Structure 1
Amino acid sequence: MADTITWYVDYFDDLDIHKLYNLLYLRAEIFVVEQECPYLDPDNKDQKALHLQGYVGEKLVAYCRLFKPGDYFTEASIGRVVVAADFRKYGYGHQLMTKAIELQASLMNETQITISGQLYLKKFYESHGFIQTSETYLEDNIPHIQMKLN
């Protein structure tokens, strides 16, 4: 049975050093190490993002960034969607996307959202209402597709 997840939402300047370390660690653990994709994760977009973090106890287990229109894509966007490997079986990824979409609507007044999603997660994003809007392309040498929620 899954433990209760506690959600935090912070702008970059409101992240304390521990939260910042935790989110950078989780992103590197999954996107760089697990996916064997050497790339520079700190991309100077964190400063513009709203950071959605899901903790179980003291451990960051789910995370994503939310952007206003124009900060990443023309439309609002969600990115760096990640769940720690040991916690994927609990449905935290679905909770994360549901929460992210709700926050885009309630805090940013945005319902049109664009993502650059890894191709293997297409059905996951479709289950949240996203539709594929591009051909497959390589981003950091991993197949991606652009998807939109209207």
Structure 2
Amino acid sequence: MIIWQTLPFNKLSTLQFHELIKLRINIFVVEQTCPYPELDDKDIIDDVYHLVGSQNDEIIACARLLPAGISYENVSLGRVATKETARGNGLGHQLIIEALKQCEQHWPGKTIDIGAQEYLQTFYQNHGFKPISEVYMEDGIPHIDMRLNK
């Protein structure tokens, strides 16, 4: 069973933050062979929340929930990741469902924007997101901006 928590930076334990960053670096830097500055100072901004999914006391999924005006004009999701060994059983879908639920709780009725890796476009469309940009390169990976209107 997955335990979901949504916490601001100052409520994450040191161990949770370590595991969260380790998961993100393992996915976005190591697995995707994409060196980039993972610590972009957005994690510590007031009103930014970290959604973590844990199983057996290990973080296996995460997403960053950002208020309007930080990454996009609208509320946004970022740093959406699932541990490689936990994939293939619908965890990514559970993560997005929980992230959208938490966004609605924190910012009711607000539009949500994401910068999705292009290969995940259909995945996000299954959750109601629609493309709002052409494909563009970010850190050497094709991305597309998508929006979920409320």
TM-score interval w.r.t. the shorter chain?
Answer: over 0.9
User: Could you say which residue in structure 1 is the equivalent of 2:95?
Assistant: 96
Does residue 13 (structure 1) correspond to residue 32 (structure 2)? The answer is no
User: 2:43: which partner in 1?
Assistant: 46
Q: Deviations over 1:17-42 (max 9, x none)?
A: 00000000000001000000011100
CA shift, 1:109, in A, is 1.6
> In 1, distance between residues paired with 2:34 and 2:88?
23
Q: Deviations over 1:79-106 (max 9, x none)?
A: 0000011111121110110111111111
User: Which one-letter code corresponds to 2:31 in the other structure?
Assistant: E
Look up the equivalent residue of 1:99 and give its one-letter code: E
Cα distance in 2 for partners of 1:47, 1:134 equals: 28
Structure 2 runs not aligned, ≥5 long = none
What is the distance in 2 between the residues matched to 1:105 and 1:8? 15
Higher helix share: 1
The number of residue pairs the alignment matches comes to 147
TM-score by length of 2: 0.95
TM-score normalised by the chain length of structure 1: 0.95
Question: Percent identity between the aligned chains?
Answer: 40
2:89 & 2:53 partners in 1: Cα distance? 13
SS at match of 2:38: coil
- 2:24 matched residue in structure 1: 27
Q: Matched residues in 1 for 2:114 and 2:50: separation?
A: 15
Alpha carbons 1:10, 1:51 under 8 Å: kept: yes
Asked if 2 retains the 8 angstrom alpha-carbon contact of 1:113 and 1:149, the reply is yes
Runs of 4+ in structure 1 off by over 2 angstroms are none
List runs of 5+ in structure 1 lacking aligned partners. Answer: none
CA displacement, residues 32-80 of structure 1 (integer Å, 9 cap, x when unaligned): 0000001110000001220000001121111000011112110000000
Aligned-partner residue type, residue 45 of structure 1: K
